Amino acid sequence: MQTVVQKAKAKPQRQANTTWIRVKKMKMLYIMMLIPMGMLFLFHYIPMYGILIAFKNFSPGLGIWDSPWNNFEHFKRLFSDFLFLRALQNTVVISLLKIIIVFPAPIIFAILLNEITNEKFKKVSQSISYLPHFMSWVILSAMVIEVFSPQRGIINFFITLVGGEPINFMSDKTAFIPILILTDMWKELGWGAIIYLATIASIDPQLYEAADMDGAGRFHKMIHITLPSIMPMVIILFILRLGSVLNAGFDQILNLYNPLVYEVADIIDTYVYRSGLEQFQFDYATAVGLFKNVVGIVLILSANAIIRRKSEHGIW
């Protein structure tokens, strides 16, 4: 009996020794990890102290801690503020449209690229599709505004060429949202396809060889081999995308919109920008941002739980 107890005590000690030996072998990797972990702690966790002002009537003179508590007044104000409710509605509409239209585009593009047999054409197509991703929305927005300009834009040039009247697309409420969706797809199509192309490259070639022996065509191989093989990655990215459903593209919209399209284009992030930086309502803007982030976390956890119940795939 004593021997069994001694063995039971010795087992955790051996495991601890083994773990310490592994840490010592990889000590340089752990030291290298200290830099990004330190930056993460410094720039992401320490500033979370500022969340307190969402629950206070913040006064810069008093500071965060000495400012008086407001009994959740800012959160009560959220749902009685017409401008916030309009921004919330616009954010959800734009995000859902981007999920429905933009999210599947890189998947389709990656599958089609994989089917191209001409390697030179394939590389050129990939390179061209990547370029917009590396350009800021400041530059791309200027290009988009010029393309749709009533005076200088190429679109209006063709409209007037056939006898039509120039249209100010960037101030048209019905045209502005489609422009947002299409330009976002144009910017991120190639970059978003990279991860799917990498997943496709890891598919066992024997699956395609077996399908060839069974007489399957290229379309059937796409549907029955390629698509199911990348589905776990699609699910993971879809869950992460749901978590940012209240992020409708701040940089894009801030550089493209104008007061004439606020009714359909003003989103939570631009509303926070105006409230916090232009109107100096730092406490109220923080409350809005906190609400948005809590909703994002809830959506990620809920989507992951639902998908884990229906399949074996998920974030964790």
The number of beta carbons lying within 10 Å of the beta carbon of residue 59 is: 14
Say if CB 176 and CB 94 are below 8 A apart: no
Query: Tell me, what's the pLDDT at 28?
Result: 84
> With bands split at pLDDT 50, 70 and 90, how would you rate the model's confidence at 183?
very high
What share of the chain in percent tops pLDDT 90? 17
CA dist 309 and 303 (Å) reads: 10
pLDDT at 184 over 90: yes
Query: Residues for the chain: how many in total?
Result: 316
What is the average per-residue pLDDT within 228-238?
Answer: 87
pLDDT at 182 over 90: yes
CA dist 244 and 69 (Å) reads: 30
> With bands split at pLDDT 50, 70 and 90, how would you rate the model's confidence at 100?
very high
CA dist 178 and 244 (Å) reads: 20
What is the average per-residue pLDDT within 39-47?
Answer: 87
What is the average per-residue pLDDT within 221-241?
Answer: 86
Say if CB 229 and CB 306 are below 8 A apart: no
> With bands split at pLDDT 50, 70 and 90, how would you rate the model's confidence at 176?
very high
Query: Tell me, what's the pLDDT at 179?
Result: 93
Query: Tell me, what's the pLDDT at 115?
Result: 84
Query: Tell me, what's the pLDDT at 90?
Result: 92
Query: Tell me, what's the pLDDT at 21?
Result: 80
pLDDT at 314 over 80: no
Say if CB 235 and CB 196 are below 8 A apart: no
Say if CB 57 and CB 71 are below 8 A apart: no
What is the average per-residue pLDDT within 52-73?
Answer: 85
pTM, full prediction: 0.81
Residues 1-42: pLDDT tens digits? 445 445 545 555 566 567 778 878 888 888 888 888 999 898
Query: Tell me, what's the pLDDT at 13?
Result: 59
CA dist 125 and 121 (Å) reads: 6
The mean of the pLDDT values for the chain is 85
pLDDT at 260 over 60: yes
What is the average per-residue pLDDT within 71-100?
Answer: 89
Query: Tell me, what's the pLDDT at 300?
Result: 82
DSSP class per residue in the chain = -HHHHHHHHHHHHHHHHHHHHHHHHTHHHHHHHHHHHHHHIIIIIGGGGGGGGGGB---TTTHHHHSPB-TTHHHHHHTT-HHHHHHHHHHHHHHHHIIIIITHHHHHHHHHHHT---HHHHHHHHHHHHGGGGS-HHHHHHHHHHHT-TTT-HHHHHHHHTTPPP--GGG-HHHHHHHHHHHHHHHHHHHHHHHHHHHHHTS-HHHHHHHHHTT--HHHHIIIIIHHHHHHHHHHHHHHHHHTTT---HHHHHHH--GGGHHHH--HHHHHHIIIIIS--HHHHHHHHHHHHHHHHHHHHHHHHHHHHHSS-S--
What is the average per-residue pLDDT within 58-77?
Answer: 85
What share of the chain in percent tops pLDDT 70? 92
> Which backbone phi and psi does 30 adopt, to 5 degrees?
-65, -35
CA dist 264 and 257 (Å) reads: 10
